[in-house]
Amino acid sequence: MGRVTDTGNSPAPSPSGAPDHIQHPRAIRSFVRRAGRTTIGQAKAFEQWGPRFLLPYSATPLDLAQAFGREAPTILEIGFGMGEATAHIAGLMPEKNFLCCEVHEPGVGALLKRIGEHELANIRIVQHDAVEVLDHMLAPDCLAGVHVFFPDPWHKLRHNKRRLIQPPLVAKLAAHLQRGGYIHCATDWEPYAQQMLEVLSAEPALQNTTQGFAARPDYRPLTKFENRGLKLGHGVWDVVFRKS
């Protein structure tokens, strides 16, 4: 195993004798906090819509019915970026709740702005690491679906370990899904698409809804970014697995 810290300081040993940094290595994160300017429009959206649609991260279980003001099937979205697909899908499916996690502040502002513009009542945003949200805020069997669209591909081999779709996270997602619930991932990076297929196929609680890759489900819009890639001849791969 590689070094966990670079500080050169030796942490005090824990009662078991092992240094704490060995027992509790810093979790590998799937994101880096990108710099990015929040626009005036996004800042206004934070002010206007934040109090109603942002849920604070807290290491305590979230009451979904209370958070959304109703009981409805809940879809978790991990890493919504600027929220283009999120707002589109939430508009198509007013009968579902969308719990959406993103760490990038301008993205959160952009989705709040879309919520205001399209009067979307069925989205709640947690501006925090989705892995911690899963671990601490969500109960087992509480989700009807999970969307992970174009997660950071972490192209370089030495960064592959930062990818979201890996066995431990997929096991966690499966445990949070209700029976009949689904995981839908999409990527434009073929090696990651193969990894998604392999990792999801290896999770015993999940079954592929089709042979191999899925056709893009109608609800997932072609975003500007994806359209541009397709025009350049790049591929896009969807995978949809279900918990039986």
Main-chain phi, psi angles of 22, to 5 degrees: -85, -40
Footprint of ligand SAM on 14-33 (CB under 6 A): 30-31
Footprint of ligand SAM on 119-138 (CB under 6 A): 129-131
Distance in Å, CB of 160 to ligand SAM, minimum: 14
Distance in Å, CB of 152 to ligand SAM, minimum: 5
In one-letter notation, the amino acid at residue 185 is C
State whether the Cα torsion 133-134-137-138 is positive or negative: positive
> Is 149 near ligand SAM (CB under 6 A)?
yes
Does residue 68 have a known ligand-binding role? no
Active-site residue flag, 152: yes
Q: Which of 121, 152, 172, 222 binds ligand SAM (CB under 6 A)?
A: 152
Q: How many residues bind ligand SAM (CB under 6 A)?
A: 22
Does residue 71 have a known ligand-binding role? no
Torsion of CA 44, 45, 51, 56, to 10 degrees: -110
Locate 146 and state its tokens: 């999970």
> Is 189 near ligand SAM (CB under 6 A)?
no
**Interacting residues of 61 by C-beta distance below 8 A, sequence separation 6+:** 136, 137, 138, 139
> Is 55 near ligand SAM (CB under 6 A)?
no
- Which stretch in 8-16, 117-125, 145-153, 176-184 sits in contact with ligand SAM by CB under 6 A? 145-153
Does residue 6 have a known ligand-binding role? no
94, 177, 226 from 53: Cα distances, Å: 15, 23, 27
> Is 208 near ligand SAM (CB under 6 A)?
no
Residue pointed to by tokens 């990792």: 199
Tell me, letter by letter, the H, E, C secondary structure of 116-139: HHHCCCCEEEECCCHHHHHHHHCC
Does residue 135 have a known ligand-binding role? no
> Is 78 near ligand SAM (CB under 6 A)?
yes
Does residue 77 have a known ligand-binding role? yes
Please state, in angstroms and rounded to a whole number, the distance separating the CA atoms of residues 55 and 128. 10
Q: Which long-range contacts (CB under 8 A, 24 or more apart) does 63-67 make?
A: 64/97, 64/99, 64/142, 67/99, 67/124
Footprint of ligand SAM on 84-103 (CB under 6 A): 85, 101-103
Residue (11 or 142) nearer to ligand SAM, CB: 142
Residue ranges in contact with ligand SAM by CB under 6 A: 30-31, 78-81, 85, 101-104, 107, 129-131, 149-152, 164, 223, 225
Binding residues for substrate: 156, 188, 223-226
**Which residues are part of the catalytic machinery?**
152
